[in-house]
Amino acid sequence: MATRQREGTILEPAKAKVKPPKMFKVLLLNDDYTPMDFVVAVLQTFFSYSRERATQIMLKVHREGMGVCGVYSRDVAATKVEQVTAFARQHQHPLRCVMEEAE
Ligand code: TYC
């Protein structure tokens, strides 16, 4: 409700204008050449999964073509994509890692 001040100024109540930040999925894509062990190491190193959970995610990507590694703010997701891609290229693997906006 608006409040009338002594000077006659109308002050509108502050609007709730803070939206939750957009979130982004980081995805791994399957290919025929990157070794399974390397993908498991990527998931452990850059996404902090246990060896067992990393193996489950790698197998899901291997069977289904892609899989989600995690959901992050835009900056963190972009950094993960860069780090994974650089690491894969250093080791001459074609592994692809991409981000897309989460619903
Ligand atoms: N398909 C690969 C193989 O058979 C393994 C693999 C899994 C590669 C997941 C990429 O994101 C990937 N060696």
Q: Whose CA is nearest to atom 5 of ligand 1?
A: 36
Predicted TM-score (pTM) of this structure:
0.85
**Rounded alpha-carbon distances, angstroms, from residue 23 to 14, 20, 44, 67, 72:** 26, 9, 22, 16, 5
Q: DSSP for 36-102, please give it.
A: HHHHHHHHHHHH---HHHHHHHHHHHHHHSEEEEEEEEHHHHHHHHHHHHHHHHHTT---EEEEEE-
Q: Whose CA is nearest to atom 13 of ligand 1?
A: 35
**How remote is the CA of residue 82 from the centroid of ligand 1, in Å?**
19
**How remote is the CA of residue 67 from the centroid of ligand 1, in Å?**
11
- Helices 51-64 and 36-47 sit at what angle, rounded to 10 degrees? 120
**How remote is the CA of residue 9 from the centroid of ligand 1, in Å?**
66
Tell me: the pLDDT tens digits for 33-82?
A: 999 999 999 999 999 999 999 999 999 999 999 999 999 999 999 999 99
